[in-house]
Structure 1
Amino acid sequence: MSTIVVGYDGTEGADVALCEAASLARDLGDRLVLVFSYEVSRLGGEVADYADALRQYGRGVLERGRSQDVLHGLDVELREVEQRPAHGLIAIADEYDARMIVTGSYGERPLKGILVGSTPYRLMHLSERPVLVVRSGGQDGS
């Protein structure tokens, strides 16, 4: 049994990616690891409270993800990582020696991905593992 790591933040793009990852996990007999990766800005005052709030939010998002019907019967683990999202997903994928990383995308234009540093764009350039970017019906990427 191998592992598929899924970046999951509860958005429409993450839900679409989760459905695709679940389908692949069924076909391949793999387990899924849902990952909520976040970065805490160390600038400003109440950093500890902010970090705790993000952790709690992340746990709730992951639990909602795990409860989706599409995951019924699959081996699913939940992980929270305090790292920039792309780096956190890569770290978890390395820890599990994952087959691939699956993430959602709203179809940002390439220049926006480069300038803003979207997670899918970073994953494709930083990960040594295969990355599947599943596009949702969000923004118009033309």
Structure 2
Amino acid sequence: MGTILVATDGSAAASAALDAALGLAAETGDEVVAITVWRALQGDYGLAHPSAAVLDDLLMAEREHAEATLTEATRRAEAAGVRVRTRLAVGDPASEICAHARDVDARLIAVGTRGYGSVASLLLGSVSNEVIRRAACPVLVIREPTRAAASGSFVTATAA
């Protein structure tokens, strides 16, 4: 038995990655570690004169979303009969995901991708691409379900 780390942010792609990780863990007896990484807000985000109260509310909303995402991952893992641990981290998502995978000695990292393609990923950034580059273990990349159905491709796997 080992550990499968799954990165989740509550998106459809991350939900599909969680499903895949839970399915694998149910078959292998592995434990799942779910991680959500959020970035503390920096700057004014286009607000003319943001008050500290507005920024505090935004930070609280982000943290509550991250906590709810992990609560949902726990609920789903327990329903599937899979042992689960969670971690809420703050910082750069790819860095935190890869570091925690090393900390828990994960044998696999599962992440979702929206599948935007190379140009959009270049402009918007791609956590899954960065995890593939930095991970010390194999990475299972699950395409967002609606994009996967449109392209006929459901799962892409890469190895470290």
**TM bracket, shorter-chain basis:** 0.7 to 0.9
Deviation, 1:74, is 0.7
Matched with 2:35 is 35
Matches of 1:51 and 1:92 in 2, distance apart? 23
Q: 2:106 aligns with which of 98, 111, 129?
A: 98
Displacement of 1:63: 0.7
Computed over aligned residues only, the root mean square deviation of the Cα atoms, in angstroms, reads 2.2
Tell which has more relative contact order, 1 or 2 (C-alpha 8 A, sep 6+): 1
Percent identity between the aligned chains?
28
Q: How much has 1:72 moved relative to structure 2?
A: 2.3
Give the aligned residue type for 2:107. Answer: R
CA distance in 1, matches of 2:28, 2:123: 36
Greater Cα radius of gyration, structure 1 or 2: 2
* TM-score, length of structure 1 as denominator length: 0.86
Paired residue for 1:120, among 121, 128, 133? 128
Q: Which is worse superposed, 3-12 or 62-71? A: 62-71
- 2:138 counterpart residue number: 130
Give 1:69 deviation, angstroms: 6.7
Shift of 1:78: 1.3
1:57 aligned partner: 65
| Number of residue-to-residue matches in the alignment | 142
